[in-house]
């Protein structure tokens, strides 16, 4: 997948001596953190973007697990109406 759709915005935050770092990766995952320096913000962003594909794979695995649990709950008669039984 192309990494040309990465988005990074670093702005001075209202919080004392910090920078707001907003990021969106090529899977459309979003993250916002606050870092004390621009250098720390760039380091965090670099690490976060590097983990994009791993994060997406984990999200897919989680989604499949939830669907599997719902199927098991439905077969057991636990699901009723809009209640998913995962509380």
State phi, psi for 7 to the nearest 5 degrees: -130, 130
pLDDT value of residue 2: 47
pLDDT value of residue 83: 62
**Phi/psi zone of residue 65: left (φ > 0), alpha (ψ -120 to 50 degrees), beta?**
alpha
Quote the distance between the C-alpha of residue 87 and its chain's center. Answer: 21
CA distance 35 to 20: 7
pLDDT value of residue 82: 62
Cα within 13 Å of Cα(59), Cβ side: 9
pLDDT value of residue 17: 84
Residues in the chain with pLDDT < 50?
Answer: 1-3
């Amino acid at each position: 997948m192309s990494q040309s759709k990465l988005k990074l915005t670093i702005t001075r935050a209202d919080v004392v001596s910090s920078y707001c770092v907003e990021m969106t990766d090529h899977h459309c995952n979003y993250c916002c953190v606050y870092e004390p320096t621009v250098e720390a913000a760039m380091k965090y962003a670099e690490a976060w973007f590097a983990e994009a594909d791993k994060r997406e794979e984990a999200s897919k695995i989680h989604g499949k697990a939830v669907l599997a649990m719902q199927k098991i709950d439905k077969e057991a008669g636990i699901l009723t109406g809009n209640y998913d039984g995962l509380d």
